[in-house]
Structure formats: C-alpha cells, structure tokens
Amino acid sequence: MAIIKVKDNNPAAAIRELLRTMLEKQLVSAILVPQEIPSKKTVVQTLVSDPDKLDAVNPLAPIFSINSARIVVKMCIDQMTGPVSGQAVSEQPAEEKEAEPPEAEDSASEQKQEQAPEQEQGKSGEQAPAEAQSAAEDEPAAAEGQSAPAPIAVVLRPCEIRALIELVKLQQASLDPFLVIGVDCWGTYSVQDYAAMVTQGPQDSSVTADFLKQVTAGNFPEELRGACRACQYPVPTYADLAIQLIGDDISQQIRIEAQSEKGKEIFNALGFEVTAESKERKSAVEKLKEAKKQLAEQDKADFLEMISSLCINCHNCRAVCPICYCKQCVFDGKVFEYPLEKYLNWSGKKGVLPVPPDKLLFHLTRMSHVATSCVACGQCEAACPSGIPLGRIFQRISTAAQEALGYEAGRSLDDDLPLTTFRENELSAVED
C-alpha cells in the first residue's frame, strides 16, 4: 500500500503519471487504458506502448462503453490454443523457480491468499507450459534478458475484472500475459448521457471532475446507469494492483495496493513508500454499498412484460455481454429456423402468435446460461435499442441464483463454477 499525491485536484492525472512511469521503466510492455477522444464526447480503449501517448488517458471518466474483459479475451485468443510440446514441460519449471524466491519472503497472510489460484492454474493441465512455449516463439524480445517479457497492463473497473475472472475460469482467457490494474468505481453514465453532458456543459468544465465531486459528497446523479445504481462491487478485490480512491480525499491523494505477487513485484519496482491502509476506506465502501442498495430499491418494473413486448430480437445484448462466450449461439443455428407451416400451425392453435416467436425464450435461455457468471455490468441494458432494463433484470436474477448456489461471480479463481459442482443441499434454500 502506498499513497500517490494528487496535484491540481486531478486524480486522473495522477493515475496517468503512474502509468507513464510504469511504461518508462519498462515494467509493463504496453497499457490497455481508456483515453478521451479529442472532442471529449467519449472515451475509447487504447493499447499504449509509447509513454508520450498517454496524455488523454482518463480511467475515471464515468462512462462505460464496453466491458473490456471482452477486449482482453480477444487479445489472448492465440494464448488459449496451440501445440502442446513435451519440451516445454521441462523448461517451464526452471523459469518458475527463479521467480519464486522473492515471493517466499513476503508476508505469509497475503501469500496464502494469492498463491492458491496460481497453484490451481498449474494443476489444471498443461496450459501454462503451452503458453510459455508459444510466448517464447512469438516474442524474440524475451530472449534478451533472462526474465519473462514485461506484462501488458490492463486498467479495468471492478466489474470488468470480475468478468475477466469468470472468463479465465471458463477457459476463454489467460491472466498470464497481463497485469490487471483495478480502479475504484462509483458508477458510470450511459454513452449518450455522457456525450450530452459534455456538449451541454460549460466549455471549461469536466464531466469527470463534476461527477467525482458529486459522488464523493454522497450524491448520485439521476443519470447513473441502472446497473451502476445497484452495484455492490465498487472496489477491485482480485487485481494485481488496485488504485484506491474511496475513503481518501481524492483532491489530495489516492492509494495503490498490490493484491497479488505479480502486482507486488511491480509495486516494489516502482519504489513506493509503504503506508497503511486508509482508516476510512472500509466504512466508506460499506456506506457506498448501502447507498446503492437504497437506489436499487427504487427500481421496480414488470420485467417479463417488458421483454416480451419490447424485445426486437436484435441480440445486441448478447453481442456485448462479456460472459456470452459461445462461438455460435444456438439462436443463430437451425434449431430456431421454422418452416412457414409451423408458424401457421402455432398461430392456428392459439389464434394469435406474437412474432418473432422466440423473444422471451431467447432471454430466458441466455439468462440460464449466464446467471451463474453474470457480473451485473449492465452492458446488455446499454446495448438494448428498445430500452429494456436488462441489466437490472439480470442483476436481480443472477444475484439470487449465485446466492442460492453459494457462489459469487468473479470473486476468485479458486471457487468452482457452480455448474460443475454438486452439493446435496445446494438448492435447499429455493426448493419450496
């Protein structure tokens, strides 16, 4: 844990400088981070490898255009497959061993927390060696030093990290090439609202600064996205490095914490002065969660009716969902293509048939598939052209489902996916 001083009441700038240092010191080979576009109407994810190209970086902008876990998945597609070489097996342990000794000296309690998942990965098969092999082939740069190539930093919100954890467990991504930097999050606006605020606001004002001012004072703007209004995960808990804002006076300072061994190495290399955790943080986080609970209470609607009447079967929600990882959705296959005769038959039986016929079925199917891994990021809701409050629906259902199964999506790599485990009394809570 260390304190990072904030200048000019601009915490985003402080983070920017931190990232710049990491690139300059070659602690990371590149950084995936959101930057503002010149018109400032939105931010886009960028992969920056030149420290001079970080000027528009703003991870605190209250806008959430894509769940970046999806981007990370795309970036490591080639890491997930490839030839399994027997050679790699014998080479890999040597590399690992060199990395181990410094870790062993660190505090015991943290080690316990963090080592388990790494062991888990080792156990789960030949994956790690395979990656090491292909990485070595692809990047000759690695050969110049003894150490592994510097990781790619990815700056993510808590819900993005949680989605990424789920995807790693579903074997769609690997954390190995990445250094996950988590940032506290009070919530976000929709892309449209954000753009409108930028356009309508005074020239010299900043939507980010206004937003931070409000939320740190405990006021939540009306325009906050539905999913963010109910979010119970404002802080990163499973990152390599966590940038902490909640509980501090962010006009003065923010903090940085290493949450894994990987993070600790970078943290040490950055040469921070180690300090204690903010005393107010815990209660501030709890207070924030409580406030969000209150906000969520206000959202009530007849969700089922909204789906069956408003859905236009565009499947946008599926396209943006970080958890929808199938190569081809069943709804794009032949199963749901019907001959005309069948339409007529159905219509004939009931007298009237709402078309297309699989609207509710699509959402129920998707829900049954993602409910145990849903991180309630609300991207589905943002993508819906009909304004169905999908994020809130999925949040409500998935929270209940995960609770019933004693699971929390994205909490840790160690928890077995609920579908793969069976406990005799796991559904007793919902049996009646």
Q: Which residues bind another protein (CB under 8 A)?
A: 80-84, 125-127, 130, 170-172, 325-330, 333-335, 342, 346, 349, 369, 416-417, 419-421
For residue 75, which of 145, 137, 151, 23 has the smallest C-alpha distance?
A: 151
Q: How far apart are CA 234 and CA 221, in angstroms?
A: 16
DSSP string, 368-424: HHHTTT-----HHHHH-TT---HHHHHHHHHHHHHHHTT--TTS-SSSPPGGG---T
Crossing angle for the helix pair 390-404 and 359-370, to the nearest 10 degrees: 40
We find the least distance from the C-beta atom of residue 163 to another protein, in angstroms, to be: 14
We find the least distance from the C-beta atom of residue 410 to another protein, in angstroms, to be: 16
Residue number, 205 or 421, with CB nearest to another protein: 421
Judge contact between 395 and 378, C-beta under 8 A: yes
The first and second tokens of residue 89, run together, are 């097996």
We find the least distance from the C-beta atom of residue 350 to another protein, in angstroms, to be: 11
As a whole number of Å, the end-to-end CA separation of the chain is 47
Residue number, 272 or 325, with CB nearest to another protein: 325
Judge contact between 40 and 198, C-beta under 8 A: yes
We find the least distance from the C-beta atom of residue 340 to another protein, in angstroms, to be: 14
Residue number, 85 or 253, with CB nearest to another protein: 85
Residue number, 6 or 405, with CB nearest to another protein: 405
Q: How far apart are CA 15 and CA 58, in angstroms?
A: 8
Residue number, 97 or 334, with CB nearest to another protein: 334
The first and second tokens of residue 428, run together, are 């007793």
10 Rama class: left (phi>0) / alpha (psi -120 to 50) / beta: beta
Output the CA angle 152-137-74, nearest 5 degrees. 45
Residue number, 67 or 208, with CB nearest to another protein: 67
* Distances 212 to 1, 33, 56, 218, 348 between C-alpha atoms, Å: 23, 19, 18, 10, 58
Residue number, 69 or 231, with CB nearest to another protein: 69
- Which strand ranges, in their side-by-side order, compose the sheet holding 2-5? 2-5, 253-258, 241-244, 178-183, 152-156, 30-36, 43-48
We find the least distance from the C-beta atom of residue 271 to another protein, in angstroms, to be: 40
Three-class SS state of 45: strand
Residue number, 186 or 362, with CB nearest to another protein: 362
Q: How far apart are CA 59 and CA 397, in angstroms?
A: 29
Residue number, 17 or 126, with CB nearest to another protein: 126
